């Protein structure tokens, strides 16, 4: 038998290393019409703010060569509506349920976590300190090591749930930021969020998205994301969740060899909403081909 499970700590084990990337599958329930969400080892919800957010005005998404640029601006229904509208459905999911939290201030991050804290069906939080297309909050918390440490430490003080800090690639030294998150009590880091990107219509001479600059995702960013995982793995001891341009099982293996214990699937859902099924089959076949009985054995095993 091939064991696809991955242990992110002694008590936090995923049935397989495949998770949804925040913002690409709604709150986890959006995928239910096209694929059984039980195929995922973990579901990461769309970012939640304290109050509902409309996000940025359109146009706010555009396709680019080997990727796409988005400037959604963390549009979401707010934490209270999330509990009222999504709780019943998500409680049925047997894997790990991670709520992505996005605040404009430290107090807002803490308040959202406080509201969610007594919900036993929520297994952990992914703290979004890396959104490149909001004017307040977002990436501001993920570019200053001291601010990141303070925020992480404050959230750690008020929760025993699994705590993931989602980092931005738009920094000079992502490994040092990850280390500060670890020192503040983070259980894991997820990386990377989108890279800064822009596109201009050559006929109208206008930007293709309203905010001009947004976040680039998709296959185009995978090599850069792999590099960030390698750099981070050299600095931290906590698990890394890899994100960026994954479209098939080979990409997952590459991230894990680089040092990721799990991955999040994002833009691929816009091309193939049921990609997780094909990727799981590939992981099993890869293990058989290489005579590996546990996928965990390849984590960080690239000969670097």
Q: Which residues are marked as active site? A: 131
Longest dimension (CA), the chain: 58
User: Residue 131 and residue 142: Cα distance in Å, rounded?
Assistant: 9
Name every residue whose Cβ is closer than 8 Å to that of residue 109 and which is 6 or more positions away in sequence: 101, 103, 127, 141, 151, 154, 155
Beta bridge partners of 92: none
User: Residue 199 and residue 206: Cα distance in Å, rounded?
Assistant: 9
User: Residue 145 and residue 80: Cα distance in Å, rounded?
Assistant: 31
Residue 83 Cα to chain centre, angstroms: 21
Report the candidate in 189, 147, 197 with the shortest Cα–Cα distance to residue 167.
Answer: 189
State the SS3 of 121-186.
CCCEEEEECCCCCCCCCHHHHCCCHHHHHHHHHHHHHHCCCEEEEECCCCCCCHHHHHHHHHHCCC
Report the candidate in 260, 252, 239 with the shortest Cα–Cα distance to residue 287.
Answer: 252
Helix (H) or strand (E) holding 240: strand 240-243
Name every residue whose Cβ is closer than 8 Å to that of residue 278 and which is 6 or more positions away in sequence: 248, 249, 272
User: Residue 155 and residue 258: Cα distance in Å, rounded?
Assistant: 29
- The number of residues making up the chain comes to 304
Backbone angles phi, psi at 14, to 5 degrees: -95, 140
Beta bridge partners of 214: 197
């Amino acid at each position: 038998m091939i064991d696809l499970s991955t242990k992110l700590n002694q008590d936090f084990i995923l049935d397989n290393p495949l998770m949804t990337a925040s913002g690409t599958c709604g709150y986890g329930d959006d995928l239910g019409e096209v694929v059984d969400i039980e195929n995922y080892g973990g579901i990461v919800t769309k970012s939640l703010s304290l109050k509902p957010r409309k996000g940025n005005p359109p146009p706010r998404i555009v396709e680019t060569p080997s990727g796409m640029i988005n400037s959604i601006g963390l549009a979401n229904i707010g934490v209270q509506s999330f509990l009222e509208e999504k709780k019943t459905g998500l409680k049925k999911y047997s894997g790990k349920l991670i709520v992505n939290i996005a605040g404009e201030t430290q107090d807002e991050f803490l308040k959202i976590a406080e509201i969610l804290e007594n919900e036993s069906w929520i297994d952990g939080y992914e703290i979004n300190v890396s959104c490149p297309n909001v004017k307040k909050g977002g990436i501001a918390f993920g570019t200053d090591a001291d601010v990141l440490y303070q925020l992480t430490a404050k959230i750690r003080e008020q929760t025993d749930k699994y705590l993931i800090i989602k980092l931005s690639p738009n920094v000079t030294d992502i490994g040092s930021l990850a280390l500060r998150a670890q020192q503040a009590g983070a259980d894991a880091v997820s990386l990377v969020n989108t890279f800064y990107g822009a596109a201009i219509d050559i006929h109208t001479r206008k930007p293709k998205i309203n905010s001009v600059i947004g976040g680039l995702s998709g296959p185009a960013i995978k090599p850069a994301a792999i590099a960030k995982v390698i750099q981070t793995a050299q600095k931290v001891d906590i698990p890394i969740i890899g994100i960026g341009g994954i479209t098939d099982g080979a990409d997952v293996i590459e991230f894990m060899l680089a040092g990721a214990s799990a991955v999040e699937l994002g833009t691929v859902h816009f091309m193939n909403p049921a990609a997780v099924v094909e990727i799981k089959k590939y992981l099993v076949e890869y293990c058989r081909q290489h005579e590996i009985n546990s996928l965990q054995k390849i984590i960080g095993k690239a000969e670097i």
